[in-house]
Amino acid sequence: MKKDLHPSNYRLVVFKDMSNDYAFLTKSCIESRETIKWEDGNDYPLIKLEISHTSHPFYTGKMKLVDTAGRIDKFRSRYNKK
């Protein structure tokens, strides 16, 4: 294997699904400016997700519309006139 191919700055990070407030703790090297206090009382970097395995239709079996930026309302208002 090649030397120094993988990052060396892995640490514990909280990923939070903003559509249903599900959060999980795992190791990652992604950078974040926000932190969150976890169940063990420690602060960890926070990465916000729009969708995860708890809200994705493939895993849940339910079709759920996630609209975080009002895109659906903009689409409807644009094409309702016709």
Task: Provide the b/e sequence for 13-24 (b: ≥16 CB within 10 Å).
Answer: bbbbbebeeebe
Q: Which domain holds residue 23?
A: 11-79
pTM of the model: 0.65
Q: How many domains does the structure of the chain reveal?
A: 1
**For residue 80, what are its two tokens?**
């309702």
pLDDT value, residue 58: 61
51 in a domain, yes or no?
yes
Q: Across residues 40-53, what is the average pLDDT?
A: 89
Let me know if residue 64 belongs to a domain: yes
In a domain, 72, yes or no: yes
User: For 5-45, how does the pLDDT look when each residue is reduced to its tens digit (9 = 90+)?
Assistant: 888 889 999 999 888 888 999 999 999 999 999 999 999 99
